[in-house]
Amino acid sequence: MKLALIGVGLIGGSAAAAWRATGGVGYVTGYDLDSGAAERGRALGVIDATATTIAQVVEGADLVLVAVPVLAMRAVFAEVAEHAAVHAVITDVGSTKVSVLDAARDGLARGDKLLFRRFVPGHPIAGRELPGVEFADAQLFRGKLVITTPDDETDADATTLIESLWQRSGARIARMDAVEHDRIFAAVSHLPHLLAFGLVASIASEADGDRKLQFAGAGFRDFTRIAASSPAMWRDVCLANRATLGTELQRYRDLLERLQQAIGAGDAAFLERTFAVASDARRRHAPTLDAE
Amino acid sequence: MKLALIGVGLIGGSAAAAWRATGGVGYVTGYDLDSGAAERGRALGVIDATATTIAQVVEGADLVLVAVPVLAMRAVFAEVAEHAAVHAVITDVGSTKVSVLDAARDGLARGDKLLFRRFVPGHPIAGRELPGVEFADAQLFRGKLVITTPDDETDADATTLIESLWQRSGARIARMDAVEHDRIFAAVSHLPHLLAFGLVASIASEADGDRKLQFAGAGFRDFTRIAASSPAMWRDVCLANRATLGTELQRYRDLLERLQQAIGAGDAAFLERTFAVASDARRRHAPTLDAE
């Protein structure tokens, strides 16, 4: 099976490498807006050949993996629809799913090919904080979760193909509704990224920010690891899931306001109660979280 | 040298174990409000004997280590002052230093012993998210930083003794002013703990909080690891450093408000610019942070 990879970065490159390692994919052609990234992917053996246009990369492809920032997907889908084979199965690795399904319904419906039915939305819950195909790793998905959010119209054989590629790469599949996906990941992924970016940006922009960061310990290291992630990717995630993320952020800001009042008023009981709710929940979920 | 440990928990227990492993300390007596903690510490060999009062634990001690929540220190110091030997050196491991110095100036000045001069404020930048003497580890401080904030009145030989005990346990020493300490750690430690506790508490208190937490990945795991820390310890830290932490928290809340406006308005440029400042700073400091 021939794979067209659109977006030669950490996740797309890792998926291509993983799917090839299992024998599910035999040949990979890659396209990236940044032709240097595609070239590095080829030099590293993550892809076999580079293409200079989307038309060229999808030519003859049985499988198209779209691994670009989520707000760039609409335009990519429209080009894919113009050039992909009728039988091609298309999937993505975006961190939001409602906006991606909308973009696919719009972009992939063009022409008479009805490629939208061949589109299987996916989201591997795996990553590294350092973006770029240089960090691609065929083992990245081993033991990790991949969420799929197929539409009612999605062809069952297309969903089966994509889920089996992920499973053969060592991942577990959880299938759910796109709306629920975006609600869950607004809370446990999108908001934490926003908060971590915000904290490091806030400290770094202080006059003595560098001196402060020099004294940071292991707690800060872990808390801010995700703040090294790709700014462009997370800019798009925040905007693509803006309504749901906005609700979670407002809820969190309300709690911070209440915590600030408690600190100002010396309300030890409220602080301890809030911290204990968190500490209990974090320890209760530790077996799942810390097993990864 | 005989050590009196007041507060038989993760950090106090680890320090006792580390100092004994280097030969600097020969015998350890431990006291804890929770007599079960002291008993477990003795059963684990972290301490040699338990005491039932502060008067008893400091009897004959050359060295007193106070490892209790920072707002409990004032009362502990007052009792230590009543009973400790004149030559005893006293130190602590609290995460705030201005309030601890104030408490020591007040508590240790009682009587005519002038024990305040024998008090060396310390703060090891090391820990584990799981509190309790069960997790004490003599190797915990290896390669880590210990901040000391001696006062102008502190005896030089007392400071030298404490710093050498930490150094022989594998730690590096940074000596600084208590005010600067509290400013730095409000930003890189106290605020991150508050934010992590707040996020987990916010999600856990939602109706579908447990389902959301089940899908959390490695990014969330790292971001929230510190939210499993001791609620009572961090309640005290937040209150003991309330003015400085309050300033940092307000600054952060202002940025979150601006980020929420940007998400609502679709201001991609502001989001990307803020995320890029953070990402650049986090990667620039990665060699220090991730080396730990």
Query: For the residues of B114-170, what is the DSSP string, one character each?
Result: -GGGGEE-EEEE---SS-SGGG--TTTTTT-EEEE---TTS-HHHHHHHHHHHHHTT
Alpha-carbon distance of B108 to B93, in angstroms, equals 16
Using CB atoms, which residue from B255, B283, B292 is nearest to A198? B255
Residue A128 has pLDDT above 80, yes or no: no
Kindly state the tokens that stand for A241.
Answer: 């899931």
Q: Give the distance from residue B8's alpha carbon to the nearest chain A alpha carbon, in angstroms.
A: 20
Using CB atoms, which residue from B127, B205, B278 is nearest to A219? B127
pLDDT at B292: 45
Asked if A187 and B206 come within 8 Å (Cβ–Cβ), the reply is: yes
Alpha-carbon distance of A96 to A101, in angstroms, equals 9
The DSSP element (H or E) to which A65 belongs, if any, is strand A63-66
Q: What would the pLDDT profile of A214-252 be if each residue is shown by its tens digit?
A: 999 888 999 999 999 889 999 999 999 999 999 999 999
- Relative to beta strand A122-125, strand B63-66 is unpaired
Residue A291 has pLDDT above 60, yes or no: no
What is the arithmetic mean of pLDDT over B41-51? Answer: 97
Closest to A251 measured CA to CA, from B126, B170, B199, B219: B199
Q: Is B161 in contact with B25 (CB distance < 8 Å)? A: no
Q: What would the pLDDT profile of B232-262 be if each residue is shown by its tens digit?
A: 999 999 999 999 999 999 999 999 999 999 9
Measured between beta carbons, the chain B residues lying within 8 angstroms of A260 are 246, 249-250, 253
pTM higher than 0.80? yes
Measured between beta carbons, the chain A residues lying within 8 angstroms of B188 are 203, 212-213, 215-217, 220
Alpha-carbon distance of A100 to B9, in angstroms, equals 50
By CA distance, what is A195's nearest residue in B?
Answer: B256
Residue type at position A51: A
Q: What would the pLDDT profile of B113-163 be if each residue is shown by its tens digit?
A: 689 999 999 999 987 777 799 999 999 999 999 999 999 999 999 999 999
Using CB atoms, which residue from A199, A208, A288 is nearest to B195? A199
Model confidence band, residue B291 (pLDDT cutoffs 50, 70, 90): low
Instruction: Convert A137-156 into a string of H (helix), E (strand) and C (coil).
Output: CCCCCCCCEEEECCCCCCCH
pLDDT at A113: 66
Model confidence band, residue B285 (pLDDT cutoffs 50, 70, 90): confident
Q: What would the pLDDT profile of A4-63 be if each residue is shown by its tens digit?
A: 999 999 999 999 999 999 988 999 999 999 999 999 999 999 999 999 999 999 999 999
Q: What is the dihedral of CA A237, A240, A241, A243, to 10 degrees?
A: 140
Quickly tell me which residue has 């940092």 as its tokens.
B248
Asked if B260 and A250 come within 8 Å (Cβ–Cβ), the reply is: yes
Alpha-carbon distance of B256 to B250, in angstroms, equals 10
Alpha-carbon distance of B55 to A113, in angstroms, equals 85
What is the arithmetic mean of pLDDT over A243-263? Answer: 97
Instruction: Calculate Rg over the CA atoms of chain B.
Output: 21
Q: Is B215 in contact with A174 (CB distance < 8 Å)? A: yes
pLDDT at A112: 65
- DSSP reduced 3-state for B205: coil
ipTM score for this prediction: 0.92
Measured between beta carbons, the chain A residues lying within 8 angstroms of B259 are 194, 198, 249
CA separation (Å) from A248 to A180, B140, B151, B152, B227?
Answer: 14, 37, 45, 48, 18
Q: Which of the residues B190, B256, B273, B280 would you substitute to probe the A interface, choosing the one with the greatest number of A C-beta atoms within 10 Å? A: B256
Q: Give the distance from residue A20's alpha carbon to the nearest chain B alpha carbon, in angstroms.
A: 24
Q: What would the pLDDT profile of B65-106 be if each residue is shown by its tens digit?
A: 999 999 999 999 999 999 999 999 999 999 999 999 999 999
Measured between beta carbons, the chain A residues lying within 8 angstroms of B208 are 183
pLDDT at A292: 45
Model confidence band, residue B112 (pLDDT cutoffs 50, 70, 90): low
In sequence order, what are the beta bridge partners of A173?
A: A146
Measured between beta carbons, the chain A residues lying within 8 angstroms of B225 are 219, 222-223, 282
Tell me what the pLDDT averaged over chain A comes to.
94
Q: Give the distance from residue A183's alpha carbon to the nearest chain B alpha carbon, in angstroms.
A: 8
CA separation (Å) from A38 to A26, A105, B70?
Answer: 18, 28, 55
- A–B CB contacts, 8 A cutoff, strictly below: 316
Q: Is A16 in contact with A47 (CB distance < 8 Å)? A: yes
Alpha-carbon distance of A33 to A68, in angstroms, equals 10
Using CB atoms, which residue from A197, A246, A285 is nearest to B213? A285
Asked if B213 and A281 come within 8 Å (Cβ–Cβ), the reply is: yes
Percent of chain A with pLDDT over 90: 88
- DSSP reduced 3-state for B59: coil
In sequence order, what are the beta bridge partners of A28?
A: A3
**Residues contacting B172, CB < 8 A, separation 6+:** B143, B144, B145, B146
Alpha-carbon distance of B277 to B273, in angstroms, equals 6
